[in-house]
Structure 1
Amino acid sequence: MKAYLKILAISLFLISSFDTFAQDANKQQEALDAYQKGEYQYAAGLYEEILSQGQHAYELYYNLGNAYFKQNLFAKSILYYEKALRLKPNDENTLFNLNVARTKTIDKIEPLPELFFKKWWKGLIGIQNTGSWAYTCIILWVFLLASIAVFLAAKTIGIKKIAFSLAIALLALNILSFTLAYKSYQNLTNKNEAIIMSQRLTAKSAPNAGSTDLFVIHEGAKVHITDRMTEWVEIKLDNGSVGWIKTGTFELI
């Protein structure tokens, strides 16, 4: 009886999941149709509704960014282009649209010079998304086990040497791909980057309104959160500037 109830529960869950997926697919098509008709606000509302139900995909973020861009809501478009890039790093269309959206904002923050190795490492991480790096790890692990099996089963020294060398190379590649997968996952789940949503914001030297004014930032600027308090967060800009701003003035990427 218990087994029957368990199977029934699983079946109902699968049916419910399929129904939800079908509804989301219909809403996505409806949103796409609305966008193509120029109904950008309605399209954005549909995409937001899908996201609120726990659905997350590159296409949703990218299309929502486009819908907000068409409404001249550039901070929102930047936010969702940034979210899209976390799922599909180095995507040329998203990067292009993001750069265009940034030209519409007031702040033109010049980043500090970056070491070549650090820039190269970031580029390597962005070649694939987190899931693809995880699949790469699994495939390399299978080949590693196969090469070990060949080494153990081989009857000649020559084949053993080849299998051993291959196993060492695959082990090194496995460690590298695992590291890249982990770093990609960290980037994906990073909650320390945000986009400013307030039109004009003054960063303070300390987490209180009476402290010294340091610099002004505007809607659409990207910030890195380095510390948190109840009503304040410490931010760092790409140019190295550091200050405190109130919570509720930004949205996390």
Structure 2
Amino acid sequence: MKHLILLIFLFAFFDAHTTQPHTLIEQANEAYSRSEYSFAAELYQQVIEQGWESADLYYNLGNAYFKINRLGKAILNYERALRLRPNDEDIQYNLHVARNRIVDRIEKRPLLFYEKWWRNAYMMQSATGWGITGIVFLTLFLLLTSFFLFSRTRGIKKISFYTALLFLIFTALSLIFAQKQYNRLTADDQAIILSPRVAAKSSPTVQSPDLFLMHEGTKVQIRNTLGEWVEIRLPDGNVGWIKKETLEVI
């Protein structure tokens, strides 16, 4: 419910040119509350096709698709919502629930301890959040640097120097994390299988042998594109070719 309210709040601030998206959002919310989930999904999708996007919009669209058992579309939109708001517990939970409904159970390569730490660190905030944090750290660095340069007290100069150095490191890390999150947000190599059942081929031809099967909702990485075919890789390392029409990029 809070995501429905946030959507209304968001679109209420735009001018007359955005009356139609605002109206569509209200109609979609009303349709969802009446359990008309297919109609709600159609209306949310129309708003997105007009160029609007937000974590709440993708979240509600994912919920509508989940209600009509369109797991592929539900997971796709939860993933898009999570890119925009990586720490939202509601999005994380619904994505987890939807993933538990898919057929495929693919074991991911376990992360090493430092890989896990690094991922948890940059996932703490969005790219915008890390950018703001970096600006704050940079401001503190400049302030402490001025103390170091202009103070006549040896103790203050020493403390200012080492503290400024620490904030400089924090600034650099914040910018690195911001870039990492931005790259994750704009990456176009992750996709969700939308077809109920897909056989991955050994080469980009219909006649080539089947390597393995995938089902709706499975997340894959796109490695290469050749005409109407894409080469994908699963989290467990398996690689194969499938038709473009069977998936959609997050």
Q: Check whether TM > 0.5.
A: yes
| CA distance 1:53–1:147, shift in 2 (3 Å) | same
Distance in 1 (CA, whole Å) between partners of 2:23 and 2:130 is: 31
Quote the residue 1:54 is aligned against.
Answer: 51
Q: Which residue of 2 aligns with 1:96?
A: 93
Shift in Å at residue 101 of structure 1? 1.4
Matches within 5 A, 1:141-180: 141-180=138-177
Give how far 1:234 is off: 1.0
Larger radius of gyration: 1
Give the superposition deviation at 1:19: 2.2
**1:174 counterpart SS class:** helix
Amino acid of the structure 1 residue aligned with 2:155:
G
* Bigger mean CA deviation after superposition, 156-165 or 169-178: 156-165
Are 1:110 and 2:114 matched, yes or no?
Answer: no
User: 1:135, 1:21 → 2: CA distance?
Assistant: 29
The corresponding residue for 1:221 is: 218
Q: Which residue of 2 aligns with 1:11?
A: none
Count of residue correspondences: 237
- SS at the partner of 1:159? helix
User: Map of 1:65-214 to 2, 5 A cutoff?
Assistant: 65-214=62-211
Task: State how far apart, in whole Å, the 2-side matches of 1:244 and 1:152 are.
Answer: 61
Which residue matches 1:12?
A: none
Gaps of 5+ in 1: 1-16
Tell me the secondary structure at the aligned position of residue 248 of structure 1.
Answer: helix
| Deviation sequence 1:36-78 (CA, Å, 0-9, x none) | 1112112111211111121111100101000111111111001
Q: 3-state DSSP class of the match of 2:211?
A: strand
Alignment partner of 2:244 out of 244, 247, 250:
247
Q: Which amino acid aligns with 1:183?
A: K
Seen in structure 2, the aligned counterparts of structure 1 residues 178 and 74 have a Cα distance that, compared at 3 Å, is: same
Please give the alpha-carbon distance, in whole angstroms, between the structure 2 residues aligned to 1:19 and 1:150: 51
Q: Secondary structure at the match of 2:129?
A: helix
Return the offset for 1:22.
4.7
Distance 1:65 1:152 in 2: 55
Cα deviation, 1:139-193, whole Å, max 9, x if unaligned, reads 1111111111222221222211111111100100001111100000011011000
Where does the alignment leave 5 or more consecutive residues of structure 2 unmatched? 1-13
What residue is the counterpart of 1:33 in the other structure?
30
Taking a change above 3 Å as real, the CA distance of residues 171 and 21 of structure 1, as seen in their structure-2 partners, is farther
Corresponding letter in the other structure for 2:217: G
User: In structure 2, what residue type is equivalent to 1:251?
Assistant: E
| Distance apart, 1:91 and its partner CA | 2.4
Identity of aligned residues (%): 46
Letter in 2 for 1:138: I
Deviation, structure 1 residue 99:
1.9
Give the Cα separation in 1 of the matches to 2:163 and 2:240.
52
Runs of 4+ in structure 1 over 4 Å off = none
The offset of 1:23, in angstroms, is 4.0
